[in-house]
């Protein structure tokens, strides 16, 4: 079923420039996508498929995207290969970023992302300090890692509304 509001949101991203770009489903994005290649090796034909994502997004088939497995939205690693190779200059990763943001707004992102966001919110570090890391740095004669200002980072993150998107443990 077409979701016209969703389609309009996708098109707003898609038409960031003045030029209207049409995807003619050549599949070049999927053919060269490294994630597609790896996941197809694992899962066969159900691997990650940017061409199909673009088709569903541009047609407004919201359910086909959001009712699918998390690989559909989160498989893209933003390596930008497809953006570089698309003969129609479609900025696929812009549209995929929109899909990821929608997934987070719906509270349906993968758990590891919420945990990592919480770690950054709580400690101002993506990877909290560990004594093993500190020891290794000393062995390598590297300087100690400076402690970030957690309160300052928290304030910045609150200003962009991150605290409202975190999940309780
Ligand atoms: S997004 Fe570009 S590369 Fe991918 S199928 Fe459409 S036209 Fe081809
Ligand atoms: S940017 Fe994403 S969809 Fe495009 S080739 Fe890289 S992993 Fe695949």
Show the domains of the chain with their CATH numbers. 4-105 (1.10.1060), 111-165 (no CATH)
The finding on whether 124 has its CB within 6 A of some atom of ligand 2 is no
Q: What local confidence, expressed as pLDDT, does residue 64 receive?
A: 94
Residue entry with tokens 């038409």: 15
pLDDT digit string (tens) for 34-58?
999 998 877 666 789 999 999 999 9
Tokens 């209207």 correspond to 20
| Predicted TM-score of the model (pTM) | 0.82
User: Given this model, what pLDDT does residue 83 score?
Assistant: 93
CA proximity to 29, closest of 79, 70, 102: 79
Q: What is the pLDDT of residues 108-133, one digit of tens each?
A: 899 889 999 999 999 999 887 889 98
Torsion of CA 54, 91, 26, 23, to 10 degrees: 70
Q: How remote is the CA of residue 49 from the centroid of ligand 2, in Å?
A: 9
Tens of pLDDT, residue by residue over 139-159, are 999 998 888 999 999 999 999
In short, whether 31's Cβ falls inside 6 Å of ligand 2 is no
38 three-state secondary structure? helix
CA-CA distance, 49 to 33, in Å (whole number)? 8
pLDDT for the residue 18: 54
State the distance from the centre of ligand 1 to the C-alpha of 91, rounded, in angstroms. Answer: 10
Residue 85 has a pLDDT of 96
33 lines ligand 2 (CB under 6 A): yes
| Dihedral sign computed on CA atoms, order 43, 45, 46, 51 | positive
Q: Which atom of ligand 2 is nearest to the CA of 76?
A: 2
Side-chain half-sphere CA neighbours of 41 within 13 A: 6
């Amino acid at each position: 079923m077409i979701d016209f509001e969703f389609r309009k949101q996708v098109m707003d991203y898609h038409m960031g420039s003045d030029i209207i770009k049409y995807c003619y489903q050549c599949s070049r994005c999927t053919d060269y996508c490294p994630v597609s290649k790896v996941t197809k090796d694992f899962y066969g034909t159900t691997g990650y498929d940017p061409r199909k994502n673009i088709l569903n997004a541009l047609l407004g088939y919201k359910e086909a995207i959001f009712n699918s497995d998390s690989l559909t939205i989160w498989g893209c690693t933003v390596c930008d290969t497809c953006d570089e190779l698309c003969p129609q200059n479609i900025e696929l990763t812009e549209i995929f970023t929109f899909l990821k943001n929608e997934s987070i707004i719906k509270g349906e992102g993968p758990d590891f992302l919420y945990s990592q966001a919480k770690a950054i919110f709580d400690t101002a570090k993506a990877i909290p300090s560990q004594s093993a890391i500190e020891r290794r740095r000393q062995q390598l004669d590297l300087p100690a890692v400076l402690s970030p200002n957690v309160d300052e980072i928290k304030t910045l993150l609150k200003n962009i509304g991150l605290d409202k998107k975190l999940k309780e443990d």
